[in-house]
Structure 1
Amino acid sequence: MHNSLITKKVIAHSLKELMQSTPFQKISIRDIMGHAEIRRQTFYDHFQDKYELLAWIYQQEASENIEDYLDYEHWSKVIVRLFTYLKENQVFYVNALEVTEQNSFDHYFFEHIQSLILTIASDLLKEEAVSISSDYLTFFCSYHSHAFVGMTKAWLLTKCQLPVAELSQNIEKTLKLSLLEGLK
Structure 2
Amino acid sequence: MSNRTKLQLEDAFKELLLEKTFHKITIKDLTDKCHISRMAFYYHFQDLYDLTEWILIEDARKALNEKKDYAHWKEGLSNIFEAVYINKPFILNVYHDISRDKIEKILFKLVHELIESVVEERSKDFLILNQQKDFIAHFYKYGFVGVMLDWIDSGMDEDYQMILDDLEMTVLGTIDLSIQNFTNKKK
Alignment TM-score, normalising by the size of structure 1: 0.83
Q: 2:150 aligns with which of 154, 157, 161?
A: 154
Amino acid at match of 1:134: N
- 1:100 equivalent in structure 2: 99
Shift of 1:133: 2.7
Shift of 1:42: 0.9
Q: How far apart in 2 are the matches of 1:112 and 1:86?
A: 12
1:12-42 CA-partner distances (Å, limit 9, x unpaired): 1111111223221221111122222322221
- 1:58 equivalent in structure 2: 56
Residue identity (%) = 24
Amino acid at match of 2:66: Y
Amino acid at match of 2:154: T
Alignment of 1:34-49 (within 5 A): 34-49=32-47
Q: How far apart in 2 are the matches of 1:34 and 1:141?
A: 44
Shift of 1:152: 1.2
Partners of 2:6 and 2:44 within 8 A in 1:
yes
Q: 1:26 aligns with which of 21, 24, 27?
A: 24
Q: How far apart in 1 are the matches of 2:48 and 2:61?
A: 20
- Unpaired runs of 5+ in structure 2? 182-187
Amino acid at match of 1:70: K
Q: How far apart in 2 are the matches of 1:160 and 1:27?
A: 24
Partners of 1:83 and 1:164 within 8 A in 2:
yes
SS of equivalent to 2:66? helix
RMSD, matched Cα: 2.4
User: Does residue 14 in structure 1 map to residue 8 in structure 2?
Assistant: no
Q: How far apart in 2 are the matches of 1:34 and 1:107?
A: 31
SS of equivalent to 1:160? coil
Shift of 1:181: 4.1
- Unpaired runs of 5+ in structure 1? none
Alignment TM-score, normalising by the size of structure 2: 0.82
Shift of 1:115: 0.3
- 2:169 equivalent in structure 1: 173
Q: Which moved more, 1:3-12 or 1:79-88?
A: 79-88
Q: How far apart in 1 are the matches of 2:162 and 2:128?
A: 29
Amino acid at match of 2:67: L
Shift of 1:130: 4.1
Larger Rg: 2
- 1:81 equivalent in structure 2: 79
- 2:184 equivalent in structure 1: none
> Aligned residue pairs: how many?
178
Amino acid at match of 1:63: R
